[in-house]
Amino acid sequence: MPMEITIAVPTHPVDSFEASYVHLPSEEGSMGVLQNHAPLRCVLDTGIVTCRLPDASERAFFVSGGLAMIADNKVLVLADTAEPAEDIDIERVRAAEERARKRLLDQTSDTDRARAEASLKRSLFRLKANQAAGR
């Protein structure tokens, strides 16, 4: 029996479908989830949620942190932001990446630096997710 994965952000559901395997970017390290996984909650880092579907195709979603809950063959991802890899706007990512890199060269405080680093991290994972989707 496949698992059911639901991905949502605070304002709306993003997608829900059946999966035979889910890979999560947990803050404690990336983790794989197969059916009949023990109940678990984990905090998500910025990264990519990869799902293998019952027909062996794959889907990838960029997430920028959040929570994942696993129970009863259901995986619920409540992300701060989530985008299906194929919907990522690459021009926008490149612009965000450039802004972040400039800020890192021209930093004025630790707060600015942490924000720019987080922004750069989002950009790099969005690019990676989009590249994975185009394979």
Residues that bind ligand ATP (CB under 6 A): 64, 81, 83, 87-89, 92-93, 96, 119, 122, 126
Q: Which CB, 58 or 117, lies closer to ligand ATP? A: 117
Q: CA 53, CA 100: separation in Å to the nearest integer?
A: 35
Closer residue to ligand ATP (CB): 21 or 62 = 62
Smallest distance from ligand ATP to CB 123, Å: 7
Closer Cβ to ligand ATP, 12 or 135, answer by number? 12
- Which lies closer to ligand ATP via its Cβ, residue 27 or residue 87? 87
The C-alpha atoms of residue 64 and residue 10 are separated, in whole angstroms, by 12
45 close to 122: Cβ distance less than 8 angstroms: no
Q: What sign results for the dihedral spanned by CA atoms 25, 28, 112, 108?
A: negative
- For the CB of residue 109, give the shortest distance to ligand ATP in the complex, in Å: 18
CB of 88 to ligand ATP, least distance (A): 4
Give yes or no for a contact between 88 and 104, defined as CB atoms under 8 angstroms apart.
Answer: no
- Tokens 């630790």, located at residue: 110
> Measured from the CB of residue 36, what is the shortest distance to ligand ATP in angstroms?
32
Burial of 97 (0-12, 13-18, 19+ CB in 10 A): middle
